[in-house]
A and B are shown apart, each in its own frame.
Chain A
Amino acid sequence: MSVKYGILTILSQSPKHRYDLKVTLENMMYKQWTLNPGQVYSTIDRLVRDKLVEEVSNAENDLKLYQITKNGREEVERWLQNPIEVLLLHDEFFFKILCAKRLNFDLLNKMIFQQKEAVIKKILQLHYLRKELENTAESEAMLYLIEGGLLHLEADLKWMDMISDLEGY
């Protein structure tokens, strides 16, 4: 996930100071993802350097307040509208299959079995998370992600079954 676009999204709604940005970003992810403060702060500095975000004076206290610039808004729009390149080998298991076949790895069957088990465990985890979120407000976006995650995992399982069939396991 891109911290950069998370920050730009939040600043598109209202100016924030550094710590507030970190907390809001974590809340947006239902506190499931703890951010390293250094990662957030260095990203803000880069966004300021690139003129996508600017500091504004804060009369109430000494904390630096950040707001998005016109360029920053255009950057978010561009990012939202551009499709993401699909890179199959970003999935390590795709790459593992490639390497295992190259080595004629004799435990390919076990490798697929274990990966199937891991995928099914993940599916059950998503089921529980979905159950938890169904009872909370403002969870629609995360429920969409869970459905997306389930569809990906479903495809992974079908693909592994296909390899098993082709390999005669």
Chain B
Amino acid sequence: MTGFLSRFGQRRGADHDGVPEAAGAQDTVVGTKALRKFIQYLKSRPTPVLLDLGPVVGSNISFFGEQIGCKIFVEDLFADIDRHEREGRLSELPAFLRTRFPQPPGSVDGVLCWNLFDFLDRPSAQAAAEQLSRVLAVNGALFGFFGMTRPSEVPLTKFIVVDDANLRHRPYSSPRMRQAVLQNRDITRLFEPLRVSDSFLLKNNVREILFRKPDYMNSR
């Protein structure tokens, strides 16, 4: 009886402390294929440095910090986009992004881009991609996904790592909606000179891509 009752009592406390956060009303759990490879790469590094471009999620910090042993930089670019949108200063976003990352060149082993590039116009996307390529270490990995269907009412979303094969998607309110669809060719050009190491088209029409910074590139 005690065991049965204790199931009800523990849930909320647990989600604050390392375990994936409890599901919200609009949450959906979606499979991921590239995340596992990204994590495998981070695990292969002695003291991996991770740059997370999404809104801060406590359980993700615990996952990557405690289980993978990463040092994590949280740079919420979605909040920056949101702020520029609200203030009507989107034309200034590319210039802002060029000075946004304080990390030295080649200092980051992994970048969690999530679906950031779905929400950027072309000049902003170019500026962000250049900077991410700059801060990424040689052989470093960048994990991102890109919607392959027409832009629609897709709001900004928090991505919560459930495990290395599943992500919980949690939409949150924002005036910014998804921008144009990027074709495969556009994506690879955007991130040059990074190389596509793995690419998966998921059933929900999202393309997951893992980029790597090639050996021949010294930190630029």
* B is a partner of A: no
